[in-house]
Amino acid sequence: MSTFDSAPSRRGTGSLKWDKRPELQPFWVADMDFSSPPEVIEALHRRVEHGVFGYALPHDGLIQSILDYLDLRHGVSVTSDQLVHLGGLVPALSLSCRAFAEPGNSVLTCTPVYPPFLHVHRDAGLDLVSVPYIRDNSQWVFDWESMERSVNRDTRVFLLSNPQNPLGRVFSKGEILQLAEFCQRHDLIMVSDEIHCDLVLDEKLTPHFTALHLPEEFAERTITLLSPSKTYNIAGMGYAYAVIPNQDLRQRFSGKQGHTLAEITCLSYYSAEAAYRHGEPWRRELVSYLRDNKDLLTAFCREEIGDITIPDMEATYLAWLDFRPAGIADPAPFLEKQAGIFLSDGRLFGSTGHARLNFGCPRSLLEEAIDSIRRALHQKP
């Protein structure tokens, strides 16, 4: 029996995932149901036992754990002064818009995409330009021609999700290099959200190419956003960081924080340190478990049902399902009513006819979700 076959009950604990719609089984927000690594829990216990929870700074142990992680996992050497510590990744997207564009400028991204990508431009009074990804066989790719047509002289920032949420793509080195060249040619700051980079399901087949590996001429206009939160299920701790090699960009980015961001707690820092220092064996077991969950869901969609389209999932625990071939135009409300399950509505990501299913849960719960979808489809008029 796997460590991940069981999970603590979360109902009634103030969980956004479980208590927002308590009448439904939740498979929506990107929040796994597994307990965090034991070493993370132990580190939090030790810090709580100290008994004092005043204002916190990123301590030396945390900083060194990040530098070691970037070196060992990604082969990247950075210095501590290139790090900007943040209380979350979404605020970093907003900061990027405010730091590198002025009202009347625009930000460019590709859809479908994590919903905040489609809203943070408003914080800076910017316009949004979005270009849909296109299908190449069973894979989603950039539509370079449409991107060239859509970018304009007022566009200042490109927001990238890699690995991509919700498509599950791990963009290749060639794709990221082409995107970096595109951003350089159009004088765009590239903001690369890589929060899911440690959830690649087959690192030999689809290795993650981080923006931190870009050649210097591209790296100088790049901001890379990272966090242990999704991988180690500590999203509620509220910690992320940006790696910004260019000093001018770093100062502009940090200077826009003002008084708008909350303090980062000491518990956030210590949980992140423990995850990076001790969580690798747990992470590997997790990825193996998620891979089996992905295979189960893919087989259901492709082999049993046949008319729910699922892409070749390369990363994350979030499956992007197209229900239009099954004749369902609005799958999220349909499944709430007919199956009693709560999925993320594709319209929030910029695509109708889709829903995102979170399979970061014990297999028994995923099997229940599949059974519920099966029954709902069979009962469909």
Gap between the Cα atoms of 48 and 135, Å rounded: 49
**Are the CB atoms for 75 and 117 separated by under 8 Å?**
no
161 to each of 67, 85, 167, 302, how far by Cα in Å?
22, 19, 10, 26
Residue 83 CA to residue 226 CA, distance in Å, equals 10
3-class DSSP assignment, residue 267: helix
Q: What pLDDT, on the 0 to 100 scale, is given for residue 70?
A: 98
Q: Are 95 and 107 in contact (CB under 8 A)?
A: no
Contact between 50 and 381 (Cβ < 8 Å): no
Helix (H, G, I), strand (E, B) or coil at 318: strand
Q: Profile the chain (381 residues) by mean pLDDT over runs of 10 residues.
A: 91 97 98 98 98 97 98 97 96 96 97 98 97 90 98 97 98 98 98 98 98 95 98 97 97 89 94 98 98 98 94 97 96 97 98 97 98 92 67
- The pLDDT value recorded for residue 381 is 67
pLDDT at 257: 87
> Would you state the pLDDT for residue 202?
98
- Residue 317: predicted pLDDT: 98
Q: How far is CA 279 from CA 89, 208, 285, in A?
A: 21, 19, 10
pLDDT given at position 138: 74
CB-based contact 192:223 (threshold 8 Å): yes
Domains and CATH numbers, the chain: 3-31+280-379 (3.90.1150.10), 52-278 (3.40.640.10)
Phi/psi of residue 181, nearest 5 degrees: -65, -40
